Amino acid sequence: MSLRPTAAFVTAMLVFLPLRAAALDLHLDNVQTAASPFEFNKITDSGDTGISISRDALIASTPSYDLWMEPEGVSAVPQYGYFRYEIYVRPKTSPGQITRLIFRGKTDGGFDDQFAEVHFTVSNGASSEAGTIMLPIFGRLPSGAITSDQPADPIPVFLATDKEISVPLTNQLKQMPVRITGASASPNDRSLWKPVEIRGATSGAFTPFLLLNGAPPSPDNLKIWLQPKTPQAFATALIPGKNKEDDVITVLVRYKTLAREEMSSPIRVRVRFEPWPPYLPFVAVIGAVLGWLILLGVRARKEESGDQMRILVAAAVAAFLIEIFGMLLVAGGSELKFLGFPIDPFRLLPATFIGLIAGLAGYQSRDFLLNFAKISFFKLGNTGGGQ
Amino acid sequence: MKSDNACLPLAFAFIVFGTVSLSATEPEAVKTLSSGELAILNVKGIERVSISNARSSLVKDFGVFQAGEFAVVPSAGGDTFLVPLQMRIRADGLFARLSRYTSAGRQTAEWPLRVVGGLLGGITVDTRNQIAYCSDSRLNVVYKLELNNTHASFTTLVRIRDAGILGPVVLDARRGRLLVADVERGTILSVMLDSRKVEVVLDAGTMAEPVSMTIDSVNDRLYIADASRSRVWVGTPSGNRWRVTSMTVTQQLKQPISVALAPDGSLWVADRGRQKIWLFATADGKTLRTVTP
């Protein structure tokens, strides 16, 4: 019997022998966060074969070893309060000899989920090498990952016009991407709106998207499409409540972070009904008519009908001009005040009020216009045309 | 190093979500119902799966929450579900609770664990006396709760100070004791219900991560899902202690996280690693069928 085939067979067996004979050990150092440490403890290790590194893996290396964890290699065990890490190590000289190590990671502290640099030591019994690998670490409870910067003032929505509002989202986690998986929206007062739609980029259907940490808020990826029911919205705008907003749309954003279950975060979008600005001067004119009617009943009844009409026209024109002037003033950052109280000329009731005052002060409105232009039409007792 | 970190978010965008299924329907735990159907607890809620046609229906949608083990309690009006819900933040601290739902998904009771920071891990029910036993995996306490009283409070049965992480718990009615797995140490502890004496009945070294257990009281067998050793162990009594042997073959399971005994004596195993639910014959460990949720 020849020894040569036997020796070859033994050599081959040694080459393909799974790793137990030359088992590797891996130690992960604990990570100290500002709040508390995140501790790693090895649960078990075993030899493995036929595992390749995916392009998504978290990879580290030392002079002699490759080390990696696949993204799905970390999972939560929420009922027992820890996270499970499945990490692979292989010697560079024998890439087929892979050791699979499972670690438990846990903390008692509250900190944001984040990626951290974890120091490790690989040893084969005879020598050891150290390195670092970026691994996700997790606080005891999932932290709120999503915020949205909303403007200080409610977002204006025209009474009879559909409106698309962007909901910019910001990722608050440290170096941990967040996937926005879905969203729903519900107004506080459903009677004011047709069903609220959730939209995505380019106003199309919403599609899940990634939110990276440190990236500027993405205003385009999540939008709500509001369609007011005009009569109800008009009534709400005419009789404003004590709040600056007319309604609040709660957008429930669902998101997923690594190894955590899906969570949701409510975002309050405050909206205020506003008539379309070109309508407002005409609203002021209607207010002027109301004011004129009151003036007619109280004082101007004695005037001839022609003069009554002149007062009405003067009041209407004055209301129209004051409203436009007020809108320009406020749009320019100034304030319009009446007896010390600020008036928002972009709202229905204040616009009506401006007209009402102009109508009530019909004589003064006429004088006001005469100061601007000497139009004989506005002179009382004038039965003819221009002077 | 700084520049590496700056690139991290972009890189991890692919790493985190490139290849992983983000399905929220991965089973966290399985139980069998009196009807023979399978109940699956996942992150969304409880699903009932018909064994004959594999059709599933949602019993209770929890929305967004995290849960692990749960218990099914047979009762006259149909099975009820006992679900430990994880910590909830209140003004005065963090609290866990146990909720009971009917088979129609209606909540009929909620028992808050009035211990700050407690985390309900395993649960088992003494159906004859209507008592639930829960392990607290954070404080290493075993609690007792009377289910007939909706205003009852958790009382401490025993605190095991030198335990690692208390995990699944089963009632060994034949011997009047609870069996509690220590997930961190890989041991099984027994807690005598009368004397509250605690002793180790399966030493460390064999199991690595016993995350779920079920007991066959008829045949006196204990089944243990070991997530890290990727197998299900079957335990046979040896005096007061247990001996375990592997029931499943190597590399068949990847990360078994829950076991449940079927009415015919076969064993359901939820495998998170392979995203499957397996049915094994307990006599020889052969696969009878698989369900992919």
Lowest mean pLDDT among A86-90, A132-136, A148-152, A249-253: A148-152
The three-state secondary structure class of A173 is coil
The domains found in chain A, sorted by start residue, are 3-137 (no CATH), 146-274 (2.60.40), 278-378 (no CATH)
- Res A375: pLDDT: 65
- Res B252: pLDDT: 85
Give the C-alpha separation, B39 to B249, whole Å: 25
Q: Tell which residue, B272, B274, B224, B212, has the closest CA to residue B248.
A: B224
- Res B88: pLDDT: 60
Q: In this structure, is residue B141 part of a structural domain?
A: yes
Q: In this structure, is residue B9 part of a structural domain?
A: no
Residues 274-293 of B with CB under 8 A from A: none
Per-residue pLDDT, averaged over A348-373, amounts to: 82
| CATH number of residue B42's parent domain | 2.120.10.30
- Res A136: pLDDT: 94
| Chain B residues with beta carbon closer than 8 angstroms to that of A58 | 15
- Of the pLDDT bands very low, low, confident and very high (cuts 50, 70, 90), residue A134 is very high
Tens-place pLDDT, residues B71-101: 999 988 889 999 988 766 655 556 788 999 9
**ipTM at complex level:** 0.86
| Chain B residues with beta carbon closer than 8 angstroms to that of A46 | 229
Q: In this structure, is residue B268 part of a structural domain?
A: yes
Q: What is the 3-state secondary structure (H, E, C) of B205-235?
A: CCCCCEEEEEEECCCCEEEEEECCCCEEEEE
Q: In this structure, is residue B124 part of a structural domain?
A: yes
The three-state secondary structure class of A131 is strand
| Chain B residues with beta carbon closer than 8 angstroms to that of A54 | 18-19
CB of B22 closer than 8 Å to CB of A181: yes
Helix-helix angle A305-331:A362-372, to 10 degrees:
70
Q: Which long-range contacts (CB under 8 A, 24 or more apart) does B141-148 make?
A: B141/B115, B141/B166, B142/B166, B142/B169, B142/B178, B142/B180, B142/B191, B143/B113, B145/B98, B145/B111, B147/B73, B147/B82, B147/B100, B147/B109
CB of B232 closer than 8 Å to CB of B253: yes
Tens-place pLDDT, residues A94-124: 888 899 999 999 998 888 899 999 999 999 9
- Res B16: pLDDT: 38
Asked if A76 and B66 come within 8 Å (Cβ–Cβ), the reply is yes
Asked if B13 and A210 come within 8 Å (Cβ–Cβ), the reply is yes
Using the predicted structure, report yes or no on whether residue A69 has a pLDDT greater than 90.
yes
Give the C-alpha separation, B69 to B83, whole Å: 7
B11 touches chain A (CB under 8 A): no
Nearest CA in chain B to A46: B229
Number of neighbouring beta carbons within 10 Å of residue A24: 23
Q: In this structure, is residue B3 part of a structural domain?
A: no
Per-residue pLDDT, averaged over A126-140, amounts to: 93
| Chain A residues with beta carbon closer than 8 angstroms to that of B250 | none
Most confident of A174-178, A294-298, B112-116, B126-130: B126-130
A215 touches chain B (CB under 8 A): yes
Q: In this structure, is residue B7 part of a structural domain?
A: no
A177 touches chain B (CB under 8 A): yes
From the candidates B4, B15, B124, which should be mutated to test the interface with A, based on the most A CB atoms within 10 A? B15
| Residue B17 distance to chain A (closest CA, Å) | 8
Asked if B68 and A84 come within 8 Å (Cβ–Cβ), the reply is no
Using the predicted structure, report yes or no on whether residue B184 has a pLDDT greater than 50.
yes
Q: In this structure, is residue B5 part of a structural domain?
A: no
Query: Which structural domain range is residue B172 located in?
Result: 23-291
Counting the structural domains of chain B, the total is 1
- Of the pLDDT bands very low, low, confident and very high (cuts 50, 70, 90), residue A199 is very high
Q: In this structure, is residue B130 part of a structural domain?
A: yes
Using the predicted structure, report yes or no on whether residue B15 has a pLDDT greater than 50.
no
Give the C-alpha separation, A39 to A29, whole Å: 8
- Res B180: pLDDT: 98
Per-residue pLDDT, averaged over A192-218, amounts to: 85
Per-residue pLDDT, averaged over A29-41, amounts to: 93
A80 touches chain B (CB under 8 A): yes
| Chain B residues with beta carbon closer than 8 angstroms to that of A254 | 64
Most confident of A4-18, A83-97, A146-160, B6-20: A83-97
Per-residue pLDDT, averaged over A245-257, amounts to: 92
Asked if B228 and A43 come within 8 Å (Cβ–Cβ), the reply is yes
